[in-house]
């Protein structure tokens, strides 16, 4: 548990939380490993967890009917994978696949949601942090959609 | 009143007069971007031999005879006194003619002009170089200079974003740079192809992961202005002091020496006072439309 708390405190998404809060969250987490090519989750499956990546690269993909997967975004060290556990209907909206060997910490979303319901200050704090991640990804996606490099400088 | 040729000695010598250069090589970087190697044409001895010295970040006016001039940043090695290398994206009539140059053809060159990247000021600091699309060529001279004097700098990170894997410039060089242990290179594309194994996402997503001491880092950013604006925001969020961020602007430069006013941006002329600016000097101007 102590190792997990140290791991969490070094992660940007949990940095700054107090020790009790980190212990609380650590109780919902466990370490996982994916080999290159492994599927982490698939569209439509229950989204009951999220991951903080410690090493390696994950690809978020969407699959055309009958076509190849199209890679939308990659995530790397220190980044958070998955927020569908936070919002109904709690199912994954995209596929995620390991591009390299990946070490990560997985968190039980249901367990954490329950803890957040019981501890609103912690819930609000976590919600702010995840909202920040969602906002940053939305902003990056908007810039991606602008196709800026297709225009003259 | 004195005529310009009498009162401005340098003008008489020719900041407005192109010097003839000869194309030595020309090669494609991508489907719409090419590089060209130029050497001075043999003259009558009145011009200094060799290519003019330049600072990373400066540009030349390239004259396609019969068509006109365009400002193009210098993408070669500042230590190479014999030749100039320019990397050009074909976007209009003049650059289209330049793209058709072949070895032995002549091209006029005026310059170098403008301010350069503050490479010396970055010595002793970590360095983050962020390039988007065709923004890498103006930064390549920085990398040449930094890698030639690697001990003078702390950690150095190059973050490069391109539209797709096919549209990355300097592919072979990027590969070589990635294999160096003293340079951290992160590349991302907006749109991946099936064979692309690297990162996907806008270049700003690489900033948080850049392995530098943000508070001590100097950042140099070149690319589309929107990209630079958001890159600067990302750098500040990471902890890079705003006054240590530099950006290179592109405007409609014509004379290159701050006379004609075409490239005026607020109180400054980009050709003379830029193209490289401290971000703090231009952050309020990045949304000013070009007329």
Residue range B199-228: average pLDDT?
95
| Interface residue of B29, B190, B228 to substitute, partner A, most A CBs within 10 Å | B190
CATH of B119-247, one of 3.40.50.200, 3.40.50.80, 3.40.50.970, 1.10.20.10: 3.40.50.80
Interface A:B, Cβ pairs < 8 A: 70
Taking the Cβ of residue A132 and every Cβ of chain B, the question of whether any pair is shorter than 8 Å is answered with: no
Per the structure, the count of domains in chain A is: 1
Residue B124: CB partners within 8 Å, gap ≥ 6?
A: B152, B153, B154
Prior bond of B211 cis (ω within 30°)? no
Q: How does residue B47 score in pLDDT terms, banded at 50, 70 and 90? A: low
Q: A134 CB near a chain B CB, below 8 Å?
A: no
Structural tokens at position B50: 């060799």
pLDDT of B100-144, one tens digit each? 999 999 999 999 999 999 999 999 999 999 999 999 999 999 999
CATH code assigned at A127? 2.60.120.10
Whether the CB-CB separation of B199 and B189 falls below 8 Å is answered with: yes
A152 vs B89: CB contact, 8 Å cut-off? yes
Whether residue A58 is predicted with pLDDT greater than 60 in this model: the reply is yes
The residue with greater pLDDT, A109 or B289, is A109
Q: Which pLDDT band holds residue B12 (cuts at 50, 70, 90)? A: very low
Per-residue pLDDT, B6: 36
**pLDDT tens-place string over residues B97-111:** 999 999 999 999 999
Order the strands of the A29-34 sheet from edge to edge. A29-34, A102-108, A49-55, A80-81
Report ipTM for this prediction: 0.85
Closest Cβ opposite residue B200 in set A68, A74, A149: A74
Neighbouring C-beta atoms of residue A48, cutoff 10 Å: 19
pLDDT band at B207 (very low <50, low <70, confident <90, very high): very high
Q: What's the gap in Å between the CA of B254 and the closest CA on chain A?
A: 16
Mean per-residue pLDDT of chain A = 90
**Residue A153 and residue B135: Cβ atoms within 8 Å?**
yes
Task: Search chain A and give the residue with CA nearest B238.
Answer: A12
Q: State the average pLDDT over residues B67-91.
A: 95
Q: What is the CATH number of domain B4-113?
A: 2.40.30.10
Question: Are B208 and A12 a contacting pair at CB < 8 A?
Answer: yes
Do residue A73 and residue B200 have CB atoms under 8 angstroms apart?
A: yes
Residues of B with Cβ-Cβ distance to A129 under 8 angstroms: none
Q: Residue A2: what pLDDT?
A: 61
Smallest CA-to-CA distance from B184 within B229, B146, B149, B216 is with B146
A5 vs B78, which has greater pLDDT?
B78
Q: Give the helix/strand (H/E) hosting A105.
A: strand A102-108
pLDDT at B291 over 80: no
Bridge partners (DSSP) listed for residue B21: B40, B107
Residue in A70, A139, A153 nearest the CB of B134: A153
Task: Give A-chain residues touching B230 at CB under 8 angstroms.
Answer: 139, 143
- pLDDT band for position B201 (50/70/90)? very high
Q: Which pLDDT score, from 0 to 100, does residue B287 have?
A: 66
Q: Where are the domains of chain B?
A: 4-113, 119-247
Q: Report the residue from B89, B190, B194 with minimal CB separation from A144.
A: B190
Q: Using a CB-CB distance cutoff of 8 angstroms, which residues of chain B are in contact with residue A55?
A: none
Which pLDDT score, from 0 to 100, does residue B252 have? 81
Q: Are A31 and A11 in contact (CB under 8 A)?
A: no
Residue B242: what pLDDT?
A: 95
Q: Residue B44 has what pLDDT?
A: 62
Could you say which of B91, B201, B250 has the minimum Cβ distance to residue A140?
Answer: B201
Domain housing A41: 2-150
Residues of B in contact with A146 (CB under 8 A): 226
Q: What is the pLDDT of residues B214-261, one digit of tens each?
A: 999 999 999 999 999 999 999 999 999 999 999 998 878 888 888 888
Residues of A in contact with B157 (CB under 8 A): none
Residue B2 has pLDDT above 50, yes or no: no
Neighbours of B280 (CB within 10 A): 14
Query: Which tens digit of pLDDT belongs to each residue from A112-142?
Result: 999 899 999 999 999 999 999 999 999 999 9
CB atoms B200 and A12 under 8 Å: no
């Amino acid at each position: 548990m102590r190792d997990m708390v140290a791991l969490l405190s070094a992660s940007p998404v949990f940095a700054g939380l107090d020790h009790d809060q980190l212990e609380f969250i650590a109780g919902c987490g466990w370490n996982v490993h994916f080999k290159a090519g492994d599927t982490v989750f698939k569209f439509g499956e229950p989204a009951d967890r999220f991951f903080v990546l410690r090493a390696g690269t994950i690809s978020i993909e969407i699959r055309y009917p009958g076509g190849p997967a199209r890679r939308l975004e990659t995530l790397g060290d220190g980044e958070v994978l998955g927020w569908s556990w936070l919002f109904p209907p709690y199912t994954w909206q995209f596929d995620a696949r390991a591009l390299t060997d990946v070490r990560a910490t997985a968190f039980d979303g249901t367990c954490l949601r329950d803890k957040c319901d019981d501890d609103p200050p912690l819930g609000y704090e976590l919600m702010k942090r995840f909202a920040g991640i969602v906002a940053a990804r939305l902003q990056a996606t908007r810039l991606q959609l602008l196709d800026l490099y297709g225009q003259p400088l | 009143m004195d005529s310009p040729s009498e009162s401005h000695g340098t003008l008489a010598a020719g900041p407005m007069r192109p010097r003839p250069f000869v194309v030595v090589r020309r090669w494609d970087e991508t489907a719409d971007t090419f590089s060209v190697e130029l050497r001075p044409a043999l003259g009558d001895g009145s011009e200094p031999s060799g290519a003019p010295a330049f600072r990373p970040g400066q540009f030349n006016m390239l004259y396609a005879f019969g068509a006109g001039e365009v400002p193009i940043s210098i993408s070669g090695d500042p230590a190479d006194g014999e030749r100039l290398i320019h990397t050009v994206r074909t976007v209009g009539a003049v650059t289209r003619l330049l793209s058709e140059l072949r070895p032995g053809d002549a091209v006029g060159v005026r310059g170098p002009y403008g301010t350069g990247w503050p490479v010396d000021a970055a010595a002793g600091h970590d360095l983050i170089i962020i390039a988007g699309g065709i923004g890498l060529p103006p930064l390549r001279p920085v990398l040449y200079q930094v890698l030639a004097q690697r001990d003078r700098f702390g950690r150095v990170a190059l973050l490069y974003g391109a539209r797709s894997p096919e549209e990355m410039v300097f592919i072979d060089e990027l590969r070589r740079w990635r294999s160096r242990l003293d340079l951290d290179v992160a590349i991302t594309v907006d749109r991946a192809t099936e064979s692309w194994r690297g990162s996907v996402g806008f270049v700003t997503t690489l900033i948080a992961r850049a392995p530098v001491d943000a508070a001590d880092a100097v950042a140099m950013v070149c690319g589309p202005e929107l990209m630079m604006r958001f890159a600067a925001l990302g750098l500040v969020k990471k902890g890079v002091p705003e006054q240590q961020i530099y950006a290179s602007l592109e405007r409609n430069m014509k004379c290159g020496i701050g006379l004609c006013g075409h490239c005026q941006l607020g109180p400054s002329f980009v050709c003379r006072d830029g193209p490289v600016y401290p971000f703090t000097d231009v952050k309020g101007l990045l949304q000013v439309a070009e007329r």
